[in-house]
Structure 1
Amino acid sequence: MVIDWLVQHWMELAGTFFALVYLYLSVKENIWLWVTGFLTSLLYLIVFFQERLYADMGLQVYYLLISIYGWFAWKWGRDKSGKRKMPIRKTSLRLAVKLVGVSIIIYAVVVWALLKLPEIINIPASDLPYWDAFTTTGGIVATWMLAGKFIEHWLIWIIVDLVSSGMYLYKGLEITVILYLVYTVVAALGFWEWLKNMKYRDKSL
């Protein structure tokens, strides 16, 4: 029975493993987070398709692309000695307002797509379109902010991860529920770690 369960859920387990490595590397500001993030997204793209979480599936495509962008953004943000030139930074009020506006637009588009596209392309409808769209929108914005090293991305992830945990519990993805609860805790720890590093950097300037 255990072996059958492992065989059935191997992709979810592998995705969970790479996701945990990704989390650790994110907190440590290690550029290899983008490689593990790419692998995580590739695996979960398939898992979410099988579970009819289409917005989350589409989000994994975005994560694949942003992982490539993030790798080069962080790589170019270093000098020849390998020292980081892209510092952790706070989101300005002006940028925050823009991000809220963009988030509203993304949410509306994703909700429309989840409600209408299944009929058009003849696939099963999304089970949780509004919550699915919420976590998708938050994930898009938070990952873009991570690529730019904006510290507030951790706070967005705390909210997104908690909502996602409820969604996956409803879908019976127990491993993924545990993963996202761990995500929530690590996001809180990541915020404090980045805040500490940012304060240390400011004192040393």
Structure 2
Amino acid sequence: MTLLEGAANTLATLSILLAGRNSVHTWWTGMAGCSLFAVLFWQTRLYADVLLQVFFVVASIVGWWHWSRRGAEGDGNVHRTGAIALAWMTIAAAIAAVGYGTLLHRFTDAYAPFADSFVLATSVLAQLLLMRRRIETWPVWLLVNTVAVPLYASRGLTVTAVLYAAYWGNALIAWRHWVRLSRAEASLA
């Protein structure tokens, strides 16, 4: 493990744990970790992941703004996404994954362009849901982590792969926590 990989993972882990606890501090720690990950993924030729990290930095700015205003809905509460909206978002993510994977396959020396693009597209979906404090962010993160673990391990990013396996467990715990928050908030309403 390099110093860069260690620092990126430390900040990302802190950010992910804070997101699971519904803390606004997830955003600034995420920006720092994602910036470091962008450099790391460029060095390992995971170009879709570089683009993803740039997206995460921008999304973290927007997420921080939303959450600082007491949440995406203005109340600081977690919410559910409608089935139709979630279906459209899922279709868009699938199209993006195939399209970007095809571009990477044809025009770059990218390693595992389709798996890398899948991680990109589903991470964007999960991040958009997280920014709006949607419960469905957590099952999407489970899917992301399921693909990311073997992808990162195959590039020799062992620490990153192990931490993404731990993030899988964190997503389960956070999902349960957010469902409880939603129920508690609904009972108060």
TM-score scaled to structure 1, two decimals? 0.87
Q: Gaps spanning 5+ residues in structure 2: where?
A: none
What pairs up with 1:128-139 in 2 under 5 angstroms?
128-139=112-123
What pairs up with 1:1-205 in 2 under 5 angstroms?
9-77=2-70, 85-118=75-108, 125-205=109-189
Partners of 2:102 and 2:114 within 8 A in 1: no
Partners of 2:98 and 2:114 within 8 A in 1: no
Q: Secondary structure at the match of 2:79?
A: coil
Partners of 2:79 and 2:134 within 8 A in 1: yes
RMSD over aligned Cα atoms: 1.3
CA distance in 2, matches of 1:48, 1:159: 20
Q: Secondary structure at the match of 1:149?
A: coil
Query: Which range is displaced more, 125-134 or 107-116?
Result: 107-116
Query: Which range is displaced more, 96-105 or 64-73?
Result: 96-105
CA distance in 2, matches of 1:184, 1:116: 31
Q: Secondary structure at the match of 1:86?
A: coil
> Runs ≥4 in structure 1, deviation > 4 angstroms?
none
Letter in 2 for 1:92: G
How much has 1:20 moved relative to structure 2? 1.4
CA distance in 2, matches of 1:104, 1:132: 13
CA distance in 1, matches of 2:157, 2:173: 25
Letter in 2 for 1:185: G
Identity %: 25
Greater C-alpha Rg: 1
CA distance in 1, matches of 2:48, 2:151: 12
TM-score scaled to structure 2, two decimals? 0.94
Letter in 2 for 1:23: I
How much has 1:23 moved relative to structure 2? 1.5
